[in-house]
Every structure is written in structure tokens, then in C-alpha cells.
Amino acid sequence: MSEIKTVTLTIDGRQVTVPAGTSVLEASKVIGAEVPHFCYHPGLPVDGNCRMCIVEIDGARRPPVSCATSCADGMVVRTDTAAVKAIRASVMEFLLVNHPIDCPICDKAGECMLQDYYMQHDRKRSELRDEKVHKPRLVKFSDRIVFNGERCILCTRCVRFTENVTRTHELGIVNRGDRALVEVAGGGSLHNRYQDNVADICPVGALTKTDFRFKKRVWFLKHTDSICPGCSRGCNVVLDHDKNEVVRVMPRFRAEVNGHWMCDEGRDIHKRIGVDRLLAPRVKLPGREGGATPEEALEAVAEVLGEARKTPDRLAAIASSWGTNEEAFLFAKLFGETLRTPHMDVKSDSDEGYPEDDVLHTADHNPNRAGVVAQGVVPNDKKGGLGLAGILDACRRGDIQCLVVWGPGLSGHLPGGESELALVLSKVARVVYLGWKDDPVARLAHVALPTPAWAEKDGSYTNCDGIKSTSVRALDPPPGVRGEIEVLADLQARLKGRSYGRTFRELAAKTGAPLPPRRPAPALRQPSLYRHASGVARP
């Protein structure tokens, strides 16, 4: 690897060494004295229009904007002098002069950069005597995005997003001076698949998501690091939730996975959590028909598997591609090691969603196929193990006595869909289903155990590039529903297998999952509106 050239400069009397080419603004973040800014966004080209990030640099003819100034050796930067503060205050004044200051009805309040900086820099009442400039206030840019021209500070982040990230060029600034306005080119609507990002990066409340408008004040939200299960990119996200309900999904910066962005499909996947949910176990075994407690159902599964281990060749296990690495690890150990079946494979749980594109979305609509395979859920070739298609064929022939299906979507692998599924499963003596959805398999299975959705459990996922990300439990699962780790560990114990651990943290060491930082428990809800709600460093 070539040596990265670095430069050393002084910011506010503190020395900082950064790679050559780093902007002064980025360097200021390193020492924790981030220069206030609006138009700068690390994921977008520099535009330098807001003039908020002006700093003093010794030797410069006039104070430059720190976003567009590269660090140089021996540079002396001052970000906190009276002159710099006065410039910032004046820029704030210019931004606010025509701003409606309608924070009480603005969805951005609480995480608005304009609001934050106003509180930090001035906090004076308006003394404006002239009428403000009026602009259109309720423009539907698309079904997902609503634009308020009066709140807009024309930082062009959204314009640069459509120009450089999606390269769809829908947005532009029309008109000049204080009549300038963001508009969709040609009067159409936003049509890219990443449009919710423009609302995220909007530093003010000009662009809001129809999905989040007027739903929740941001300071009521709790924030949990998660991943998006929509495709094998596995975008790192933050679930913003309250009262055991996800209210919105925001991208979480991870340079090697998703950068700053995520697609719109990922924003909506949380809405599937409550749909077609398998909420209680079902047992249809002779003598055990009808409702069962979770404990009884687990006992039934153990019984079925105990029977099946006598003929491991006639046992087959199909794993979920939405399962976590830790669950897949236990799944592989339970069926491969303890029950010794050679027939193990992973299926696609989902094939619905966006097609592949060149921004983030991949063709595989499952988050962890690679990880499940890597944990050993593969056919045992030495013993003539069958893959997914082979297992289904064997079922059709009546060669499989016990089939374990983890996760929904098996019917998607059969050309005849659900009717063929019923036919195939009718040839299998015992079908066990584990999963969070009330899948056709769940209705046909002899034992069906409900499990939590991804937002309701801890676990790591391996994306299409082999990068692991950890998702933290954000919601409580429905009452009585136990996680796969617990269920699999319990079965392992009942079937006298080796113990590998019963919690995510114990198993993470074995799967190499990155452990999530322990967020400090939120202190008392702070009354100030201007505290950034998430407490997350914001770009």
C-alpha cells in the first residue's frame, strides 16, 4: 500500500494531522470543533454557497469557507474568534430574514440545523419590519416528498444529490436572487428510488417525507442501530421508534457498505413487520392438536427432531436467508452436527422489491444469504447432501420424512406456487416451520413456531461484499415469541448437543460480528428543542 501523505495544521491552537486534500471543515471535526455549516455534506461535492463555514486562516486575503479550503502544512486556522462568530451570526440573520420560522409546525424541529445554530448564535427576536418573501409552500415533489419553498435555504444539497448520487437530475434551482426556488425539472416529479435521502440531507424542514409528516416529534424517537433487510447490500440504518413501533428508518453512515444513503424500499420494509404475522405456535401432531403454549410447541419440535435423528438421511433443513449469522451458526450446528443430516440449504425468503441498480440496491432481496452459507448451512457433499431443489424433489418423491423450514417464501421456489407446495408437503411426514410470517408453510406444518422479525432481535448480517454489520433489537417481539437463538439453543440442549451459547453476545465471538457500541442510556428527556434529537454525529 502506498503511504498516505498527511499534512499537519493548527486549528484553534490545537495541532491536527490529516490526509492531504482534507478540507479544513473535515479537519475541524477531527478535533471535535466542527465548523457550523449548511450546504456542505461529506457525501456530496462541495458547493460553498451557504457561507456559514467561514473561518480565519492566517495569511488568507479574506476569510475563506472551510468546506472548500484544503488543509496545508503549517496552516493556522481559527474557528472561534469574535470576527468569525460575527460572520456566522450575520449569515444566520440572512438565512432567517425570509424564513417563516414556523418551527412549532415543522417536522424538522429538533433536528434542524437552522434551529440549532440559531440557538447557538443569536437567539434574538426578529426585528424585521418588511414583509418576507413568499414562495410556494406545499409542493408535492413526488408521492414521498413534499417541498416548502419558504423554509428552503437553497443549500442545493438535494440538487447535488440528484445530480451526483442518483444521477437522475430531477431537481434544479430556478429563478435568481431571493426568488430562487428548488423545482423538479420540467414540472414532473421525483422518480428516483433514493428520494427520501433528499429529506434526510435537507438541513432545514424544506423537504419532508409524506411518510413522516406530522407523525411524531423527533425528540420522542428512540434510535437503534439496525440494518436494512431489503437486499443483500445490507445498508446500515437507524430505526427511529417509539412505543414499540418503528416510525421511520434513516441511513447510518458506513463508508464500505452504503455510504450516507439508503433506498426508499428500505424505508418501508418496517411496515411489513406487523403484516401476516405468525403470533402463536401451532401444533398439528396426533394427540397434540390445537393451541399450544410456546413451551409445549418447543417440546413438540424436539420430539419430532428426536424421531428424525434416527434416519438423518430422511431429514432436511432449509434455512432462512433473512436469518442472522449467529442463528445460522446454531442452525448449522443443530442440524449438521447434532442431528447429522446432510441435506441443508438456504432459500430466498423474499423476491419482492426493487430491481438491481448502480447506486445501492442489489438483485438479491435477502439480507444474509452469504452469511448463512458462510456459517455452514450448505449441503454436505461428502454424504450426498441435497441442495434446495434436490430436497424439494426428494420431498415430492416421498424420500424425506422430516422437513424443517425456517423463514417464509418456500412456495416461491416451486413453479406451481402454493398449490404445488401443499402437494409436496403432503408427502412429508413431519413439517416444522420457524418464522415470523404466517407463511403457507406455517399453515401446512405440523409444528409452527413464531419468531421475531429482524427489528426485534440482535444479530449480525454479512452483505454481498462479505462485510458484516450488526443489527440491534429495537422493538419487543409479540408476547411469548422467543428468538431463534434461544429456540435453537434450547433444541440443541434438549437433543443433547454441544452448547455454544444462548445470547447474541456469546455467539458474536464465534461469528465475528462487530459489536454495536453501547449507547449511553438517554438521560432525562431534555426540554430544549434544539438539542439534536438522535445524539448521533450528524454529517
Is 246 one of the binding residues for other proteins (CB under 8 A)? no
Q: How far is the CB of 35 from other proteins (least distance, A)?
A: 15
Cell of 523: 438521560
Q: CA-CA distance, 391 to 307, in Å (whole number)?
A: 19
Nearer to other proteins, 49 or 534 (CB): 49
Query: Does residue 97 belong to the site contacting other proteins (CB under 8 A)?
Result: yes
Complex with other proteins: residue 40 or 322, whichever CB lies closer: 40
Nearer to other proteins, 133 or 373 (CB): 133
Residue matched to cell numbers 453476545: 505
Any contact of residue 98 with other proteins (CB under 8 A)?
Answer: yes
Q: How far is the CB of 119 from other proteins (least distance, A)?
A: 18
Candidate segments 169-177, 226-234, 268-276, 345-353, binder of other proteins by CB under 8 A: 169-177
Q: State which of residues 42, 100, 172, 478 lies at the interface with other proteins (CB under 8 A).
A: 172
CA-based end-to-end distance of the chain = 29
The residue with cell 417536522 is 107
Task: Give the residue, chosen from 3, 130, 358, 381, that forms a contact with other proteins under the rule CB under 8 A.
Answer: 130
Closest CA to 162 of 42, 44, 37, 41: 44
Q: Which of 59, 177, 290, 520: binder of other proteins (CB under 8 A)?
A: 177
In the three-class reduction of DSSP (H, G, I as helix; E, B as strand; rest coil), residue 470 is classed as strand
For other proteins, which stretch binds (CB under 8 A), given 21-29, 138-146, 167-175, 200-208? Answer: 167-175
Residue placing its CB nearer to other proteins in the complex, 98 or 115: 98
CA atoms within 13 A on the CB side of 416: 9
364-396: burial string, b at 16+ Cβ within 10 Å, e else: bbbbbbbbbbbbbbbbbeeeebbbbebbbebbb
Helix (H, G, I), strand (E, B) or coil at 18: strand
Query: CB of 74: closest distance to other proteins in angstroms?
Result: 19
Instruction: Output b/e per residue, 123-161; b: 16+ Cβ within 10 A.
Output: eeeeeeeeeeeebeeebebbebbbbbbbbbbbbbbbbbb
d(CA 253, CA 235): 9
Closest to other proteins by CB, 46 vs 467, is: 46
524's CB contacts (< 8 A; 6+ apart) are: none
- Asked if 163 is part of the footprint of other proteins (rule: CB under 8 A), the reply reads no
User: Among 138-146, 177-185, 374-382, 433-441, which window interacts with other proteins (CB under 8 A)?
Assistant: 177-185
How many residues are listed for the chain in this entry? Answer: 539
Q: Return the residues of window 25-84 that contact other proteins according to CB under 8 A.
A: 46-52, 54, 62-63, 65, 68
Minimum Å gap between C-beta 176 and other proteins is 5
Of the pair 94, 253, the CB lying nearest other proteins is at 94
381 touches other proteins by CB under 8 A: no
Q: How far is the CB of 88 from other proteins (least distance, A)?
A: 10
* Alpha-carbon distances of 184 from 38, 108, 206, 305, rounded to whole Å: 21, 22, 14, 59
Closest approach, Cβ 93 to other proteins, in A, equals: 7
> Quick check: 167 binds other proteins (CB under 8 A)?
no
Rounded to 5°, angle at Cα 56 from 101 and 11: 100
- Return the range that interacts with other proteins (CB under 8 A); candidates 123-131, 233-241, 264-272, 374-382: 123-131
Tell me how far, at minimum, the Cβ of 203 lies from other proteins, in Å: 12
Residue from 31, 101, 180, 464 touching other proteins (CB under 8 A): that is 180
- Give the C-alpha separation, 196 to 415, whole Å: 36
CA angle 96, 116, 131 (to 5 degrees): 15
- How near is the Cβ of 475 to other proteins at its closest, in Å? 42
Residue 181 Cβ vs other proteins, minimum distance, rounded to whole Å: 9
Q: Among the residues of 20-167, which ranges form H helices?
A: 24-30, 82-97, 113-121, 157-164
Q: Which of residues 311-340 bind other proteins (CB under 8 A)?
A: none
Per-residue cell: 168? 437522475
Task: Give the nearest distance from C-beta 48 to other proteins in angstroms.
Answer: 5
Rg of the chain over Cα atoms, rounded to whole angstroms, equals: 27
124 binds other proteins (CB under 8 A): no
Residues that bind other proteins (CB under 8 A): 46-52, 54, 62-63, 65, 68, 87, 90-91, 93-95, 97-98, 127, 129-134, 153-154, 172-173, 175-180
